[in-house]
Amino acid sequence: MRSRLLQSSTFRLSLLYTVIFAVSVFGPFAFIYDETVSSIDREINAAIDAETRGLMTDLERMGGAGLIDVVNERTADPADLDAIYFLADRDKRPLAGNLIEWPRNGVQEGRWYLFEIEAVEGGRETSHHIRSRIEVIPGPYFLLVGRDIHERDKVRNTVRRAVGWALALALGLGIPGGVLMSRRVLGRVDRIAETARQINEGDLSRRMDVGDSGDEFDRLSESLNAMLDRIDRLMTGMRTVSDSVAHDLRSPLTHLRNRIEQALREARDTDDYRKALRAALSDTDRVLTMFNALMTVARAEADMGRQEMERVDLGQVAAGVVELYEPLVEERGMEIAASIAPDAMVRGHRQLLAQAIANLVDNAIKYSPSGERIALTVAVEGAEIRLTVADSGPGIAADSREQALGRFVRLAGRETPGYGLGLSLVAAVAQLHRATLLLEDNTPGLRAVLVLTHA
């Protein structure tokens, strides 16, 4: 069975990153290593070449005996084993230099001859690695010029060790780190999956835990929660609509049914039937009007219609509504005063905004006694646009204002026409526009304020 850890993509990712990391550490080190070692090599080689050239000139100038003198002179200090000089005869027997005998068991590498020597330094026997160049001089003699390359080897070994450690460290920290990290991440994914499972099983109120680090997981959880909230709101909206449709359309439908039944039972002549049918028709219209209003409210509450939003001048929309209602206001012996700021641009749904404003004006007319004045203002206040419809009628008591926004809520008597859906629509349209709806006291009267964002 493969372990969960190996299956987790996080672990695989962290492994991959560790490898990439290791390679990226190794790469520069290898380069540095190569550069350092080869530059030392170049220096050594150049020194050997220069030395050899010098000795060859000496040979030309002073002949064989002279060369022996020079070599002897250069190897006068027995402690100096850095530079190796050795002059041998045709049988490779020593003539001069700081080697006891011609080196054997060395290796030829290109034009370089590599070998090891044993020396006694400070009473200790040490081994030295020598790189050398051999010239055959007419005679024939053999001239060997070499350099101790153990310093170079030391550098090389240091760098190699460093690379080794770095790699070991990269892998040693990277793999457990990756495992730890993937454990942590796995745990959080598991928690999200577990929550999702619970939601799936019907506990729709469950939400993802959101930490306070604001990292990707917190953001993921937040978006999931936002999505769940929205689904919840949509479902609640849908349920309330169907509940209220079921509940509130039931009574007018019952009424309608009774009326028809009664007509069938009691009507004597066509006139009776005609009367009953006409009444039934107007009952039906009532139901339809209610139904349409409910649908509009439900759709706005469910955030439908946001795609239809555009940049609109709220002032123009409001002016249109004022103009639509003006004759009615005057007919009721009232007055409507509009004060509208220019360029009150908002992102909005023109029709729904107009309908919401119309409902507010409608209420102001309906609930104010005649002779009163209605004030409609649209004001631009910084980043906000405030639309106010104020009347000086009875207003709504402070503790009933929240309630007045509910569906089918009618606070005043039954004598005024209406279904109690007007303010529900205003509230839903406000929500759709991410606007705030305030119902305030106009002392006396109601002041309804819609606060929208300036676009």
Ligand X SMILES: Nc1ncnc2c1ncn2[C@@H]1O[C@H](COP(=O)(O)OP(=O)(O)O)[C@@H](O)[C@H]1O
Q: How far is the CB of 237 from ligand X (least distance, A)?
A: 17
Residue 116 CA to residue 105 CA, distance in Å, equals 8
Among 289, 370, 400, 403, binds another protein (CB under 8 A): 289
Q: In terms of C-beta distances under 8 Å and separation of at least 24 residues, what long-range contacts does 11-15 make, across chains too?
A: 11/178, 11/179, 11/182, 13/178, 13/182, 14/174, 14/175, 14/177, 14/178, 14/179, 14/181, 14/182, 15/175, 15/178
Burial 131-165 (b: 16+ CB within 10 A, else e): bbbbeeeeeebbbbbbbbbbebeeebeebeeebee
The answer to whether the CB of 436 falls within 8 A of the CB of 427 is: no
Choose the stretch contacting Mg ion; rule: CB under 5 A; options: 168-176, 243-251, 384-392, 417-425: 417-425
Neighbouring C-alpha atoms within 13 Å toward the C-beta of 425: 24
Question: Which residues in the 333-352 window bind another protein by CB under 8 A?
Answer: 349, 351-352
> Does position 288 bind another protein by CB under 8 A?
yes
Structure tokens at 438: 């305030």
Binding-site partner at residue 173 among another protein, ligand X, Mg ion, none, CB < 5 to 8 Å by type = none
What is the contact mask toward ligand X in residues 363 to 382, using x (rule: CB under 6 A)? xx--x---------------
Question: Which residues in the 363-382 window bind Mg ion by CB under 5 A?
Answer: 363
> Does position 308 bind another protein by CB under 8 A?
yes
Q: Which is nearer to Mg ion, 252 or 418 (CB)?
A: 418
Binding-site partner at residue 391 among ligand X, another protein, Mg ion, none, CB < 5 to 8 Å by type = ligand X
129: left (phi over 0), alpha (psi -120 to 50) or beta: beta
Among 32, 180, 264, 295, binds another protein (CB under 8 A): 295
Choose the stretch contacting ligand X; rule: CB under 6 A; options: 15-23, 222-230, 335-343, 390-398: 390-398
Contacts of 315 (CB under 8 A, 6+ apart): 340, 341, 342, 343, 344, 378
CA-nearest of 81, 113, 115, 122 to 98 is 81
Q: How far is the CB of 243 from ligand X (least distance, A)?
A: 18
Q: Which is nearer to another protein, 225 or 240 (CB)?
A: 240
DSSP 383: T
DSSP 111: T
Choose the stretch contacting Mg ion; rule: CB under 5 A; options: 7-15, 217-225, 248-256, 411-419: 411-419
Binding-site partner at residue 438 among Mg ion, another protein, ligand X, none, CB < 5 to 8 Å by type = none
Residue 447 CA to residue 186 CA, distance in Å, equals 55
> Does position 320 bind another protein by CB under 8 A?
yes
What H or E segment, with its residue span, contains residue 412? none
Residue 74 CA to residue 79 CA, distance in Å, equals 12
What is the contact mask toward another protein in residues 352 to 371, using x (rule: CB under 8 A)? x-xx--xx--x--xx-----
CA-nearest of 426, 421, 428, 427 to 287 is 421
> Does position 411 bind ligand X by CB under 6 A?
yes
Among 146, 395, 422, 445, binds another protein (CB under 8 A): 422
Q: Which is nearer to another protein, 21 or 419 (CB)?
A: 419
Residues that bind ligand X (CB under 6 A): 359, 363-364, 367, 391, 393-396, 404, 409-412, 418-424, 446
Residues that bind another protein (CB under 8 A): 284, 288-289, 292, 295-296, 299, 304-305, 308, 320, 323-325, 327-328, 331, 349, 351-352, 354-355, 358-359, 362, 365-366, 417-418, 422
